[in-house]
């Protein structure tokens, strides 16, 4: 639009029917003013826009596009220190952006916030599945309660890093909300199993049950808050579904559909989506978009057969003369005599 208005501003003062009547000095001045006006306007808007965003507490799409640069220092650290988390964040960004577009939410916001939602894992990256080495699992040497504390702490550590790097407040909110008050189920179940084993051993040792500490579910839940906006809920769901999809063996459309539906139903039953304004209709659209995106990313390839050694064809000169004579076919078949 600015280029179009500049063009009309340049050619408008020219009298095309009577060129001799043109005041070329005035036309040159007007052209210079038109060009200068555009430059000054662009400079003022570019400089004032961040201040206006801070004053009114809003973020425009231009700012979100600038924030989506993968060369941000935190993201560059992640590629080196937690490459598994970095790849996970990129996939979550694709899932969240597609789902947000499908329901008319802010897709660019979802993509940017997905990039940063797990930056807290930079503090102890080796304790998270996607960054673990094949040699050992560090949680094997820890009590379930301690493992849960390390996992839960990545949310607070992510908020601290986001504040240190002065990230947008919406990014900080989604870092804080993306797990809500959900349960770290794996270590909770492990703690319950160890508690049952301790009780069984206590009976043999004739110990009182009061001497065996109870497993408190609150110790294995994130501190929250729950997702407060549609975008925060979308990133939260995308994070959960992407993590679970990596455990699928030979993914099929049916397996992916079952996984997505079960995880969304689990979040609903755990009341993790109570504080956001997503409707059931929007959740259905989000689930459909998750299934479509996951299916395109997790499609399997045909198992091509390995090329084995070709059997060597026998050569005539390697056969004995008697074998060659026995195996050589006659050039013409003998005539059949009539009975």
* pTM for the model: 0.76
Locate 100 and state its tokens. Answer: 């947000």
Q: Report the pLDDT averaged over residues 267-285.
A: 96
> Are 86 and 75 in contact, with CB atoms under 8 Å apart?
yes
Q: Report the pLDDT averaged over residues 278-296.
A: 96
Give me Rg for the CA atoms of the chain.
Answer: 34
pLDDT digits (tens, 9 = 90+) for 128-158: 999 998 778 999 999 999 999 999 999 999 9
pLDDT (0 to 100) of residue 116: 98
pLDDT (0 to 100) of residue 323: 47
Q: Within 13 A of 70's CA, how many CA atoms are on the CB side?
A: 8
Burial 302-326 (b: 16+ CB within 10 A, else e): eeeeeeeeeeeeeeeeeeeeeeeee
pLDDT digits (tens, 9 = 90+) for 8-50: 555 555 555 555 555 556 656 666 766 766 676 666 655 555 6
Cα–Cα distance measured from residue 133 to residue 108, given in angstroms and rounded to the nearest whole number: 33
């Amino acid at each position: 639009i600015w280029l179009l208005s500049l063009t009309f501003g340049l050619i408008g003062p020219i009298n095309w029917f009577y060129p001799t009547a043109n005041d070329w000095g005035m036309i040159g001045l007007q052209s210079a003013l038109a060009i200068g006006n555009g430059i000054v306007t662009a400079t003022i808007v570019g400089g004032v826009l961040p201040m206006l965003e801070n004053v009114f507490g809003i973020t425009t799409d231009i700012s979100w596009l600038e924030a989506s640069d993968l060369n941000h220092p935190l993201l560059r650290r992640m590629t080196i220190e937690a490459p598994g988390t970095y790849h996970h964040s990129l996939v979550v960004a694709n899932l969240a952006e597609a789902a947000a577009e499908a329901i008319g939410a802010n897709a660019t916001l979802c993509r940017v916030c997905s990039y940063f939602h797990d930056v807290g894992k930079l503090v102890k990256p080796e304790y998270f599945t996607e960054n673990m080495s094949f040699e050992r699992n560090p949680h094997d040497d820890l009590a379930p309660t301690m493992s849960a504390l390390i996992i839960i702490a990545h949310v607070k550590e992510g908020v601290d890093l986001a504040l240190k790097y002065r990230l947008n407040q919406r990014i900080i909110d989604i870092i804080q909300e993306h797990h809500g008050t959900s349960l770290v189920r794996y270590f909770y179940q492990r703690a319950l199993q160890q508690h049952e084993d301790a009780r069984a051993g206590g009976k043999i040792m004739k110990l009182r049950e009061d001497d065996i500490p109870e497993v408190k579910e609150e110790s294995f839940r994130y501190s929250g808050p729950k997702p407060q906006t549609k975008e925060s809920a979308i990133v939260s769901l995308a994070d959960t579904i992407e993590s679970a999809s990596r455990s699928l063996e030979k993914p099929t459309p049916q397996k992916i559909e079952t996984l997505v539906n079960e995880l969304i139903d689990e979040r609903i039953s755990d009341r993790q989506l109570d504080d956001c304004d997503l409707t059931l209709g929007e959740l259905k659209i989000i689930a459909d978009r998750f299934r479509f995106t996951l299916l395109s990313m997790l499609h399997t390839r045909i198992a091509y057969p390995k090329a084995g050694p070709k059997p060597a064809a026998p050569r005539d000169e390697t056969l004995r003369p008697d074998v060659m004579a026995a195996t050589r076919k006659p050039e013409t078949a003998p005539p059949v005599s009539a009975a």
